[in-house]
Amino acid sequence: MSDWVGLGTVVGNLLDDVFTSDEERQQLANELAKIDNQRHAQVLALEGRIVELQGQVLAAQSQIITAEAKGESRLQRCWRPITMLTFLVLIVLDSFGLLTFRLSEQAWELLQLGIGGYVIGRTVEKAAPGVKSMAASAIQNLRKPNGRS
């Protein structure tokens, strides 16, 4: 968007130099404002679509976790918590120097990713319905003419 701000200044100065009458300058300035508003509306529409797609991804992820939690196999239901407990044991053992080899930098990054993903995943799973309804409301407001009710 910052590119557009600089471009608008350049085009505005060019209009002042090329067109001498105030009426011509105003007409072109109005046309440029119209083009800029259309571009802004397109950006908002694309951002709204991104939010919709992110909501769909969250819903799909939530369905996967729900299906795993309701699975018939105990391993299917418990593999995520087991993985997190394994990570915790590795961290504790490494912290007290009880591992034969210290955890490598890549192992720590993997642990951070796994734990962060688990915590964030659980948080998102609980917050997704509220975020989805807020996003839907915002998108509906964007689609209304002039953003008014």
* Polymer length of the chain: 149
- Are the CB atoms for 132 and 58 separated by under 8 Å? yes
How far is residue 78's CA from residue 99's CA, in Å, rounded to a whole number? 26
Q: Supply φ then ψ for residue 75, to 5 degrees.
A: -65, -40
Per-residue pLDDT tens over the stretch 49-59: 998 898 888 88
Per-residue pLDDT tens over the stretch 8-23: 666 666 666 666 677 8
Residue entry with tokens 């394994």: 86
Distance of CA 138 to the CA centre of its chain: 15
pTM above 0.85, yes or no: no
Per-residue pLDDT tens over the stretch 91-147: 889 889 998 888 888 887 877 777 776 666 666 666 666 766 776 677 777 666 654
How far is residue 116's CA from residue 84's CA, in Å, rounded to a whole number? 10
Q: How many CA atoms lie within 13 A of 1 on its CB side?
A: 8
